Structure 1
Amino acid sequence: MELSCKVNYALLALLELARHRERGKLVQIEQIAADYQIPDRYLAQLLMTLRRCGIVRSQRGAKGGYLLAREPGQITLLEVFTCLEGTWSHKQESQAASLTQAHFAIEEIWQEATMAATAVLQRYTLEDLRQKRDEGQQFNPMYYI
């Protein structure tokens, strides 16, 4: 399992929206794109998808932008992942009659891994992610040569 570029960019944008939510400030796409080196048009597509899923809201106009639709503690990482990627699935490509016991063993382990990953993403919210980011910024070791 791998974190797609799409989900990674979306989480970075959502972290930025979470940071500005406390001040009630709308954030423009250009600002997020510049801060995280995300292509503007791609970010716009991601934010439109997140808006359709009810994760962000937008406001048009010169002073428009994006903001979180709910509190960061109410938005799970699973919700973000599912919005952008759909659900995890693993389909056997062979005909059902030709599946061996090995195929079933692989499928069983894949299902267990999927359930574990789903549980972790369901447990963490944007607020948790923001706190982890903030903790990492506090621990900024300096190395001297």
Structure 2
Amino acid sequence: MAIVSTKGIYGLTAMVILAKENEQKLLQIKEIASKGDIPQNYLEQILVTLKKSGIVESIRGASGGYRLSKNANNITVLEILNSLESSFAQTDIKTRNSLLQPFWDDSQNKIEEIFLLTLNELDEFLQKSSENFTYYI
């Protein structure tokens, strides 16, 4: 089972927002914060960490901002979470009772599979999921 903190959730949200933009377009922190409903001060800290990890790059100045440092097809959810979560871990669940062990093993495999999605694949997944919503008024 994996545990993801608010920092990881906000960071992944910011990365999805950056991935949706043209790779050369710079987004300012206030734009990302607004689009992702992320506290701006917290986002600044998150982006500094992602920059140190080489996942994003920034340009200073009035027309500056942040963008992905590489193609969204080459950045995985796992890479982002490993960068942001100081104690990110997937725990192995081993029980004395082997009755549930196949369930725990299968759930662990599915978590690993979804965390290996690239930003582009995650965006496609999110778009498909949003298409399944039906709104009634």
| Counterpart for residue 40 of structure 2 | 40
- Does residue 80 (structure 1) correspond to residue 85 (structure 2)? The answer is no
TM-score (norm. length: structure 2): 0.77
1:2-41 residue pairs with structure 2 within 5 A? 2-22=3-23, 24-41=24-41
Q: Deviations over 1:93-132 (max 9, x none)?
A: xxxxxxxxxxx857xx8xx699647732552111111111
Quick one: distance in 2 between partners of 1:77 and 1:66? Answer: 18
Higher relative contact order (CA 8 A, sep 6+): 2
Q: Deviations over 1:45-75 (max 9, x none)?
A: 0000001001101000000000001111111
1:4: Cα distance to partner? 1.1
Check whether the contact 1:10–1:43 (CA below 8 A) recurs between aligned residues. yes
Q: Percent of aligned pairs with the same residue?
A: 34
Q: Which ranges in structure 2 are unaligned for 5 or more consecutive residues?
A: none
- Does residue 141 (structure 1) correspond to residue 96 (structure 2)? The answer is no
Q: Which ranges in structure 1 are unaligned for 5 or more consecutive residues?
A: 91-103
Check whether the contact 1:21–1:68 (CA below 8 A) recurs between aligned residues. no
| Counterpart for residue 51 of structure 1 | 51
CA RMSD of aligned residues (A): 2.6
Go from structure 1 to structure 2 and tell me whether the alpha carbon gap of 1:117 and 1:133 turns closer, same or farther (over 3 Å shift).
closer
More helix by share: 1
1:83: Cα distance to partner? 0.6
Deviates more, 1:10-19 or 1:81-90: 81-90
Check whether the contact 1:76–1:126 (CA below 8 A) recurs between aligned residues. yes
Amino acid at match of 2:56: V
Amino acid at match of 2:11: A
Check whether the contact 1:78–1:118 (CA below 8 A) recurs between aligned residues. no
| Counterpart for residue 131 of structure 1 | 124
Amino acid at match of 1:141: T
Amino acid at match of 2:22: R
Go from structure 1 to structure 2 and tell me whether the alpha carbon gap of 1:117 and 1:142 turns closer, same or farther (over 3 Å shift).
closer
Go from structure 1 to structure 2 and tell me whether the alpha carbon gap of 1:132 and 1:117 turns closer, same or farther (over 3 Å shift).
closer
Secondary structure at the aligned position of 2:78 is classed as helix
